[in-house]
Structure 1
Amino acid sequence: MTALCRVLIAVSLGTSPCWADELPLTKNLPVPDFQNKAQDTKPYNFDAPPGGMFRSITMAEGFEEELGFRRTHEIVPVQPTEQFPTGTPAVYIVFHLHQHYQAFQVFGRCFPEAVPGLAPGTMVSEDAMYMALEDETGYLKLFPPSKEWTPGRYKVEIHAGEEVNEMSLVGTMRFTIIK
Structure 2
Amino acid sequence: MVVALLVWSAAWAEDLPLTRNVPIDQFQNRLEDVKPYNFDAPPEGMFRSIETTEGFEEELGFRRQNEYVPINPTTEYRSDSKPVFIVFRLHQHYQSFLIIGVCYPEDVPGLDPKVELTRDTVYIATEDESGYLKLFPPQGGWKPGRYKVEIHVGEEVSPISLMGTMRFTVSPAASAATPAAGPN
* TM-score category (smaller protein): 0.7 to 0.9
Name 1:104's counterpart in structure 2: 97
Residues 19 and 142 (structure 1 numbering): CA distance in 2 closer, same or farther, change over 3 Å?
closer
Which stretches in structure 2 are left out of the alignment for 5+ residues? Answer: 173-184
- CA offset digits 1:93-119 (Å, max 9, x no partner): 000000011110000000001101101
Are 2:133 and 1:140 equivalent residues in the alignment?
A: yes
1:80 is aligned, of 64, 73, 81, to 73
> CA separation in 1, counterparts of 2:102 and 2:117?
8
> CA separation in 1, counterparts of 2:19 and 2:156?
48
Are 2:116 and 1:130 equivalent residues in the alignment?
A: no
- CA offset digits 1:141-168 (Å, max 9, x no partner): 1111113211100000000012111100
Deviation at 1:33, TM superposition (A): 4.7
Report the AA paired with residue 168 of structure 2: F
> CA separation in 2, counterparts of 1:162 and 1:169?
11
Q: CA RMSD in A?
A: 2.2
1:62 is aligned, of 39, 55, 69, to 55
Report the AA paired with residue 100 of structure 1: H
Name 1:20's counterpart in structure 2: 6
The 5 A counterparts of 1:89-100 are 89-100=82-93
Task: Please state whether the residue corresponding to 1:20 is helix, strand or coil.
Answer: helix
Q: Give the TM-score of the pair, scaled to structure 2.
A: 0.82
Comparing 162-171 and 18-27, the one that deviates more: 18-27
> CA separation in 1, counterparts of 2:19 and 2:143?
66
Deviation at 1:178, TM superposition (A): 0.6
State the aligned residue count: 165
User: Percent identity of the aligned residues?
Assistant: 56
> CA separation in 1, counterparts of 2:42 and 2:90?
14
Report the AA paired with residue 47 of structure 2: F
Name 2:146's counterpart in structure 1: 153
Which stretches in structure 1 are left out of the alignment for 5+ residues? Answer: 7-16
Report the AA paired with residue 21 of structure 2: L
- CA offset digits 1:32-72 (Å, max 9, x no partner): 45322112211000000000000000101111101222322
- Bigger Rg, which one: 1
Name 1:170's counterpart in structure 2: 163
Are 2:15 and 1:29 equivalent residues in the alignment?
A: no
Task: Please state whether the residue corresponding to 2:151 is helix, strand or coil.
Answer: strand
